[in-house]
């Protein structure tokens, strides 16, 4: 069934505007329902729902059923999904928690950038790529999609663990380091040189923004919330929190940092007051609506046709293996003092490339730094690393006690420690 054809039939009696709205609503319906069905199936199989939602995108997307095509609308919904997801994760993360693991998070981020970059660079050179192309392949492996890991840990009840805090802290630092790497590589691709003065300024702005929110964010919001609560509009604190989340996401974007970092910092600034004002109850339903578009959107970018070429398939498998090993080894070695199991939790938690890897690949293709085959390979790596991490995380965290989110209306049996 072709969804475009279906939309045309449904809206045939209306105006062109009605036709467009019907097609849009049908797109949202197909993606949302498919993602939720995939999540339900994988939950019943005792596997992370994230994988089911990504696979749903593969099935209804352009590679299998052709019901939904990636578009500006699906991309916008996907971005909103990951923004609200990271805001929710920020609500669970107090600044003191991140500061307690700051040194370890910095070392993890550095290892997770350096080793994948080197492995990707030499892999591409070995396959006859130019230096600029090799740099782009390396830059694509540097990326970490913390949204995937955060979703898994939140759903499984492990956000309270020390390793989860290390992963979140490392992911914020990783984004800044990855931004600087990408700026250098893009500069070489465009002009054969990089503007190191501009790169240094961008890095300074990004680091200053993160440190300010880390040390002063909670104090600022503690003073602002009472004033917001006195507003006469309904749900003023909830609406103020949404506005704050979107504001910091925009600020982060203008500073050259990923919007999700701003969303995470906004949630963290509200973390001290979140339980008192019940923000979780409000944002749970909002994030549960938007997040499936983020996950299914990743699945829609899978290029199954690239797997028909044996040489490209081999490159896909080898680079995926290097991408996994690069993050696992580079991120677990700095925290071996926590024990082998917890070091592996950190390493695997940094493995997913997700939408970040896809964006880097698209930038490389647009600049002519990546060939069509290498673009397909990097895209394959981004999606597969995103899909293999959740079940591995679930397995590695199984020995840890779970702490599920406390709802004010929950009974005693629904709150506290769960080791199922």
User: Which tens digits make up the pLDDT trace of 268-311?
Assistant: 888 877 666 667 777 777 878 888 888 888 788 777 776 778 88
112, part of any domain: yes
Backbone angles phi, psi at 402, to 5 degrees: -95, 140
- pLDDT at res. 60: 93
The angle that helices 354-366 and 372-396 make with each other, rounded to 10 degrees, is: 170
Domain that holds residue 349: 78-293+306-400
Residue 416 DSSP SS3:
strand
Rounded Cα distance between 329 and 333, Å, is 6
For residue 184, what is the domain's CATH number? 1.20.1530.20
**Cβ pair 169, 105 in contact under 8 A:** yes
Is 205 domain-assigned?
A: yes
- 316-373 residue pLDDT tens: 999 999 999 999 999 999 999 989 999 999 999 999 887 677 767 777 777 778 887 8
Question: SS3 of 403, please?
Answer: strand
User: Cα–Cα distance between 20 and 84 in angstroms, integer?
Assistant: 27
**What is d(CA 393, CA 48) in angstroms, rounded to the nearest whole number?**
9
Burial (0-12, 13-18, 19+ Cβ within 10 Å), 402: middle
Q: Tell me if 68 sits within 8 A of 308, measured CB to CB.
A: no
In a domain, 7, yes or no: no
H-helix segments, 157-258: 162-191, 196-229, 236-254
Question: Could you tell me what percentage of the chain is helix, strand and coil, using 3-state DSSP and rounding each to the nearest 5?
Answer: 80, 0, 20
Average pLDDT over every residue of 248-274? 82
- Is 16 within the bounds of a domain? no
Place of tokens 């699945």: 299
pLDDT band at 10, cuts 50/70/90? very low
- Count the domains in the chain: 1
Query: What's the whole-number mean pLDDT along residues 405-411?
Result: 42
Torsional sign, CA 310, 312, 315, 320: negative
Determine the pLDDT at residue 417: 35
CB distance 89 to 287 below 8 Å: no
Cα 49 to Cα 147, 157, 258, 331: the distances in Å are 14, 14, 25, 25
Confirm if 41 and 52 have CB atoms less than 8 A apart: yes
| Kind of pairing between the strands at 416-418 and 402-404 | antiparallel
Is 275 strand, coil or helix?
A: helix
Question: Is 25 part of any domain?
Answer: no
Predicted pLDDT at 193: 64
> Using CA atoms, how far apart are residues 320 and 378, in angstroms rounded to an integer?
8
Residue 86 CA to residue 263 CA, distance in Å, equals 6
pLDDT value, residue 334: 92
- 293 or 171: which leads in pLDDT: 293
- How far is it, in rounded angstroms, from Cα 128 to Cα 150? 37
What pLDDT was estimated at residue 347? 93
Q: What is the pLDDT of residue 3?
A: 36
pLDDT higher at 100 or 348: 348
Position 300 scores a pLDDT of 84
pLDDT classification of 55: cutoffs 50, 70, 90: confident
Cα 194–chain centre separation:
27
- Name, in order, each residue with C-beta under 8 angstroms of 106's C-beta and a sequence gap of 6 or more: 169, 170, 173
Comparing C-alpha atoms, which of 145, 126, 179 is closest to residue 319?
126
- Collapsing DSSP to helix, strand or coil, 41 comes out as helix
Does a structural domain hold residue 280?
yes
DSSP class of 404: E
Is residue 406 assigned to a domain?
A: no
- Distance between CA atoms of residues 258 and 255, nearest Å: 9
Handedness of CA 97, 100, 104, 109 (dihedral sign): positive
**φ, ψ (nearest 5 deg) of residue 93:** -120, 110
Helical residues (DSSP H) of 92-195, grouped into ranges: 95-100, 102-126, 131-142, 146-156, 162-191
Tell me whether residue 135 is in a domain.
yes
């Amino acid at each position: 069934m072709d969804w475009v054809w279906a939309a045309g039939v449904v809206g045939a009696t209306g105006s062109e505007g009605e036709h467009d709205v019907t097609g849009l609503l049908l797109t949202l319906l197909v993606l949302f329902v498919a993602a939720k069905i995939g999540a339900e199936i994988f939950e019943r199989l005792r596997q992370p729902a994230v994988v089911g939602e990504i696979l749903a995108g593969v099935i209804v997307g352009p590679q299998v059923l052709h019901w939904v095509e990636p578009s500006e609308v699906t991309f916008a919904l996907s971005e909103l999904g990951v923004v609200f997801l990271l805001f929710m994760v920020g609500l669970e993360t107090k600044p003191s928690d991140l500061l307690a693991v700051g040194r370890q998070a910095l070392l993890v981020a550095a290892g997770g950038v350096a080793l994948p970059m080197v492995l990707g660079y030499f892999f591409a050179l070995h396959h006859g790529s130019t230096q600029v192309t090799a740099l782009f392949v390396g830059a694509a492996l540097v990326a970490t999609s913390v949204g995937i890991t955060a979703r898994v840990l939140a759903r499984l009840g492990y956000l309270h663990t020390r390793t989860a805090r290390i992963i979140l802290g490392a992911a914020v630092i990783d984004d800044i380091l990855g931004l600087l790497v990408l700026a250098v590589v893009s500069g070489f691709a465009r002009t054969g040189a990089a503007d190191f003065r501009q790169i240094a300024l961008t890095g300074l702005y990004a680091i200053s923004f993160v440190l300010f929110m880390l040390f002063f964010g909670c104090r600022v919001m503690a003073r602002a919330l009472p004033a917001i609560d006195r507003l006469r509009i309904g749900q003023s604190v909830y609406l103020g929190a949404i506005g704050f989340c979107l504001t910091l996401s925009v600020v982060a974007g203008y500073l050259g940092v990923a919007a999700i970092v701003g969303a995470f910092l906004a949630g963290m600034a509200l973390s001290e007051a979140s339980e008192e004002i019940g923000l979780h109850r409000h944002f749970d339903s909002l994030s549960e609506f938007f997040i499936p578009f983020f996950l299914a959107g990743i699945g829609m970018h899978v290029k199954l046709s690239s797997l028909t070429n044996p040489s490209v398939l081999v490159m896909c498998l080898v680079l995926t293996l290097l991408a996994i090993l690069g993050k696992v080894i580079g991120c677990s070695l700095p925290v071996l003092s926590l024990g082998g199991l917890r070091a592996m939790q950190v390493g695997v938690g940094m493995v997913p490339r997700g939408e970040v890897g896809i964006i880097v690949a698209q930038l490389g293709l647009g600049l002519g730094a990546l060939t069509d085959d290498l673009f397909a390979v990097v895209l394959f790596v981004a999606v597969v690393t995103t899909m293999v991490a959740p079940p591995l995380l679930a397995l590695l965290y199984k020995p840890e006690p779970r702490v599920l989110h406390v709802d004010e209306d929950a009974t005693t049996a629904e709150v506290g420690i769960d080791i199922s």
